[in-house]
């Protein structure tokens, strides 16, 4: 890849000041397939300075020019979709078809959703004689994860550009190459120098500078709750705004009024999508106690039917998990579930029998889990489902809310009953009855799942400051 050893700063591809080479590992083979250079504190500060210099001019350009810029970016993303998807497949192990149709496509979707929201966004409105103005939040540091990399880059960059912010992006060092392609897209689209800057690095060096530097006005972070706490602590002395989308342990309540087999099967597939590496995956399935045997039958069959294999194989449903570190953590938690007495009904420890290399995890289902077990409390971030029994709907709601997280929840059942349950769930997004994903709905969580909201018009609000010009319309 042409720019893998460079950073994009102030409109130019530049060599790092403090470059340190690391391998990018293909999780399907456990072997390096590329290298990148990680920067240091000086690289981060150079990028922040470029963004600070660019902010006064870019924040004041006519909105029509920013809209045209977003439209050019969307056009180029559409053209380079498969290329971006293929590199994501190599980096994180996602099946190639899924990487193109979902992982890469979702980046384009966020730009399209932002464009639609931009056209009707109330940048200025009158309240009596006071003018209420939505302005750019300023220089934004963006720290993004590896699991849906272009998704989390695009849903930050698109609204930030729309509002007139300038920015520095630090992608995950586990999946850094898709961010290089994304920077090339923005360069081709004509993003002005200094508006978008890319620096590769780890959290302890580049991430720490981005979180603490006084020239950064806002940090937008997606990742683990543990890392989110560190970002917030680093940002606190400068009282900068911190937006966080963090972990989850999302419940999926299957009500007695649900089409039971369909609901359970769908819950398994949603839990295991992206090899279970989604923060909003429905990893706790709550079923009526008297239907536990039925849930085991359906869920185990659904898990066993999934094909785990190489990402390039069109028949593959689940690829490997992203890294050895992730694989080892998932294996430890599967063993913990067995040790604590959960009933293993599908999958289990170790790779699938037909695979002897790669970070492949068997689609695993535990039944008769109690909500105090480790596998019901901790975010596993792999293809592991816990089925929990409940007695009453009130019991199910209490179990669902008994978690430090609150990112997402799912409810299956008769529509009026499902709506009533949704009203009592402490989660930022509740999906009813296998509804389609809505990329313009606000995305974010309660409790330790973060603060703030992304997507569509909510992303525009997130990257804006509100100014009141009092007496604007007085003579």
Q: Please answer whether residues 410 and 296 qualify as being in contact, where contact means their C-beta atoms are separated by less than 8 angstroms.
A: no
List Cα–Cα distances, 237 to 138, 153, 201, 210, 240, in angstroms.
18, 26, 23, 13, 8
Q: How far apart are CA 60 and CA 139, in angstroms?
A: 14
Q: How far apart are CA 226 and CA 311, in angstroms?
A: 30
Q: Which of 187, 245, 379, 462 is catalytic?
A: 245
Residue 279 annotated as catalytic:
yes
List Cα–Cα distances, 108 to 85, 195, 199, 302, 442, in angstroms.
12, 20, 22, 31, 17
- Give the number of other CB atoms < 10 A from CB of residue 60: 10
Q: Are strands 7-9 and 12-14 parallel, antiparallel or unpaired?
A: antiparallel
Q: Which of 279, 379, 454, 462 is catalytic?
A: 279
Residue 86 host element (H or E): helix 81-92
Q: How far apart are CA 48 and CA 139, in angstroms?
A: 8
Residue linked to tokens 């464009």? 115
Q: How far apart are CA 395 and CA 267, in angstroms?
A: 20
Could you tell me the two tokens for 337?
């579930």
List Cα–Cα distances, 355 to 22, 172, 300, 362, in angstroms.
27, 27, 20, 10
DSSP state letter for 437: P
Could you tell me the two tokens for 339?
């040790």
Q: Please answer whether residues 320 and 277 qualify as being in contact, where contact means their C-beta atoms are separated by less than 8 angstroms.
A: no
Q: DSSP letter string over 254-299?
A: E-TTS-HHHHHHHHHHHHHGGGG--TT---EEEEEGGGHHHHHHHH
Q: How far apart are CA 439 and CA 431, in angstroms?
A: 13
Residue 394 annotated as catalytic:
no
How far the first Cα of the chain sits from its last, in Å, is: 61
Return the biggest CA–CA distance within the chain.
80
- Give the number of other CB atoms < 10 A from CB of residue 232: 16
| Residues near 300 by beta carbon (within 8 Å), at least 6 away in sequence | 345, 346, 365
Q: b or e along 4-43 (b: 16 or more beta carbons within 10 Å of the residue's beta carbon)? A: ebbbbbbbebbebeebeebebbbbbeeeeebebbbbbeeb
- List, by residue number, the catalytic residues: 245, 279
């Amino acid at each position: 890849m042409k720019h893998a050893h460079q950073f994009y700063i102030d409109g130019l591809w530049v060599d790092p000041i403090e470059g340190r080479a690391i391998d990018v590992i293909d999780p399907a083979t456990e072997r390096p397939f590329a290298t990148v250079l990680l920067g240091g504190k000086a690289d981060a500060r150079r990028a922040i300075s470029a963004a600070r210099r660019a902010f006064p001019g870019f924040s004041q350009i006519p909105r029509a020019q920013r809209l045209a810029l977003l439209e050019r970016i969307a056009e180029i993303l559409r053209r380079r979709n498969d290329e971006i998807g293929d590199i994501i497949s190599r980096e994180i192990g996602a099946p190639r078809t899924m990487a193109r149709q979902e992982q890469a496509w979702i980046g384009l979707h966020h730009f399209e959703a932002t464009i639609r929201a931009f056209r009707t966004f109330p940048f200025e409105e009158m309240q009596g004689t006071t003018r209420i103005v939505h302005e750019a939040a300023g220089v934004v540091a963006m720290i993004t994860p590896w699991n849906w990399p272009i998704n989390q880059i695009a849903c930050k960059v698109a609204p930030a550009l729309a509002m007139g912010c300038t920015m520095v992006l630090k992608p995950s060092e586990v999946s850094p190459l898709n961010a290089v392609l994304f920077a090339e897209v923005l360069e081709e689209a004509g993003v002005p120098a200094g508006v978008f800057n890319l620096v590769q690095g780890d959290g302890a060096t580049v991430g720490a500078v981005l979180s603490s530097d006084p020239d950064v006005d806002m940090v937008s972070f997606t990742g683990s709750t543990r890392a989110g706490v560190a970002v917030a602590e680093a940002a606190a002395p400068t009282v900068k705004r911190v937006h966080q989308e963090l972990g989850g342990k999302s419940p999926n309540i299957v009500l007695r009024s649900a089409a039971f087999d369909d609901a359970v099967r769908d819950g398994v597939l949603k839990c295991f999508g992206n090899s279970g590496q989604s923060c909003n995956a429905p990893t706790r399935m709550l079923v009526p106690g008297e239907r536990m045997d039925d849930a085991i039958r359906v869920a185990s069959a659904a898990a066993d039917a999934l094909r785990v294999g190489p990402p390039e194989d069109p028949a593959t449903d689940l690829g490997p998990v992203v890294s050895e570190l992730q694989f080892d953590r998932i294996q430890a938690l599967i063993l913990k579930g067995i040790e604590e007495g959960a009933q293993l009904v599908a999958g289990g420890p170790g790779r699938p029998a037909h695979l002897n290399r790669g970070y492949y995890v068997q689609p695993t289902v535990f039944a008769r889990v109690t909500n105090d077990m480790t596998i019901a409390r901790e975010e596993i971030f792999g293809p592991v489902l816990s089925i929990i029994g409940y007695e009453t709907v009130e019991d199910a709601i209490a179990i669902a809310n008994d978690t430090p997280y609150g990112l997402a929840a799912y409810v299956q059942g008769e529509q009026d009953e499902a709506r009533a349950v949704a009203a009592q769930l402490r989660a930022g997004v509740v999906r009813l009855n296998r509804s389609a994903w809505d990329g313009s709905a606000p995305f974010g969580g309660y409790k330790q799942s973060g603060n703030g909201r992304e997507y569509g018009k909510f992303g525009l609000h997130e990257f804006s400051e509100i100014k009141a010009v009092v007496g604007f319309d007085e003579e």
